[in-house]
Structure 1
């Protein structure tokens, strides 16, 4: 990542929160690093150096500012906007792949050699995969120290450290405080006492309009797996070490996140899945600036700036749901998915409210009898072919997926047209430029706005919205009176 020094200095001097997560400011005279919006009086420019990642600043010997907590800033939007090697690696590191499988496992997922992955990460981020994973472990450790009553040895294990000594040394080096000192600073607020339950705040960049985001997730919630309850979107997650239940509540300046984990080692992965689901690392200023250049979209953006793309917590799960939703209403799609969950989902050991199951894995669905599905024959064939490819590992829809390759592998499958492929690209793969030109809601919206509404003409018109066409879709959808465009009561 090439940092423009003059632009970075201006951002720090103006305490511009839009750049939080884009870069980090190291202060040579104090030995600390901060987010650009740090409220402390900015240092002189000659005493600043800039780093593209927290790991880079830590490797250079700087510790995190105790005031602005740069480790808790929103993630860089670049990793969600790009599909190159570095961006895919960062998404996989955030999902915990290095902690679970090491650098060789990361490289294998990416289809490159470990040395090539190391070189590219160091060249762009100033730190290799191990250092980046270490920075993430440090942030996870801090969350556990400050929000739980776990013994420090258990915190070290849950955060992914190989030893208590490594945990102590890392926390001291990164935060300038021992683990015990970190915990003593927050004793004014009692941490939750329920084993495995944690409450954290998920930051986002402003502006942020939550109504269509949470409305969409609530309206399309799969019975047994997802629900809207008590002002929060809740769902069951399948994580590397066991199931979890998450409740996400929109607040004024953050998303309230309550996690009930069966294994605390999954904390970091769970938080990153939630951030991904709600598209919290987006850069709404850049998106809205481009889209307001179109006179047809400008009023929609001004009416609800900062709309996010409702994504999927699990790529293969969403692909199955997309097939079930072909050419049927939202209610019918929920019914089909709910039946699949009831028949083949994995029951939760401790049901929580309306959450009773995990969505069935592709391997489980690969063995089902097609005649048991209440679907047209052609859609049964589509579903069984898709889950067979997913179960065999021939189709990658995970956080490190190559978007173009995934599209190329999806399109030849029987029954997968442009709507399904682009819907998967938008919500499962997170491609910010995915565009569902054939969507019925889009056609109604564009007709009402006087825009071309045939797929070919609309696609040509939408060239001006690139690379943010998935966000243009959210603004177009917002013109309808559908329940998904407002927060549930």
Structure 2
């Protein structure tokens, strides 16, 4: 099935694709010739989606899914994942008042905040990434997928498994994959929390960060990161993030303390998350 997802320009597809490519989990995601593909899972349904830049102001999607009844849910998730409904002009007008952000926004006016296909998957990625590199976290995610993911018959080369369901992960010995036992307990606890509260990762639900912080092993950075990319809170801001602190150091010559960055970011409300994406992207270009 072919779908077209329109957006209000501008849209920096190369930045979005680069972000996804750097974090693609083997067996679940591929990026080939400008096309992002991934396996998808909904209750009782498995499939794949492939997304690429279309002609005009739209993304094109090739969907392989046996149940047409779930197509509206898939479209909604894809629109969030690729940040297609953001009012960039509104955020630009607000954030460009900061002389640090103004030239960065002008350089990449179509920059978006990458979302996530699934809340539990994104939360697992965030926890796996605590205190290790992106590459190491993606390697661990691949091991988890191969061990506990559901096998998938796919016509897209490289897509072999669907991310594991919460019921499987809640009882799995995840530390056996090669991580601290405390982190394994945090991951299993996340899966159990979702079983207890199926709306735990629901975008737009009030009090999302507080619910996440109440969970074992979930600190401020992880909660804010999940809020930004899954709950779609454009004010989500992990002020202690090493990348954000480093970006200020590169741009201004002085590395701020986390508290100083948090204070400065108050002027960016209610779009601190977009400011974070601008700063992260500037750092990747500097490197």
| TM-score where L is the length of structure 1 | 0.56
**In structure 1, distance between residues paired with 2:86 and 2:211:** 27
Please point out which of 247, 271, 286 is paired with 1:445.
247
User: Residue deviations 1:343-383, cap 9 Å, x none?
Assistant: 00011133521111110011110121244231012212222
- Could you say what secondary structure the match of 1:206 adopts? coil
Gaps of 5+ in 1: 1-197
Distance verdict in 2 for CA 1:449–1:350, change over 3 Å: closer
What's the CA shift for 1:394?
6.7
State the partner residue of 1:45. none
- Could you say what secondary structure the match of 1:202 adopts? strand
State the partner residue of 2:234. 432
Size of the aligned set, in residue pairs, is: 285
Higher relative contact order (CA 8 A, sep 6+): 2
- Output aligned runs, 1:12-27, within 5 Å: none
Aligned 8 A contact 1:311 1:428 in 2: yes
State the partner residue of 2:127. 323
Is structure 2 residue 24 aligned with structure 1 residue 224? no
**In structure 2, distance between residues paired with 1:211 and 1:350:** 26
State the partner residue of 2:83. 279
RMSD between aligned residues: 1.9
- Output aligned runs, 1:45-444, within 5 Å: 198-240=1-43, 242-251=45-54, 252-350=56-154, 352-393=156-197, 396-399=200-203, 402-404=205-207, 406-444=208-246
Flag as ranges the 4+ runs of structure 1 deviating above 3 A. none
What's the CA shift for 1:458?
0.7
Structure (1 or 2) with the larger CA radius of gyration: 1
**In structure 2, distance between residues paired with 1:287 and 1:435:** 15
| TM-score where L is the length of structure 2 | 0.93
Gaps of 5+ in 2: none
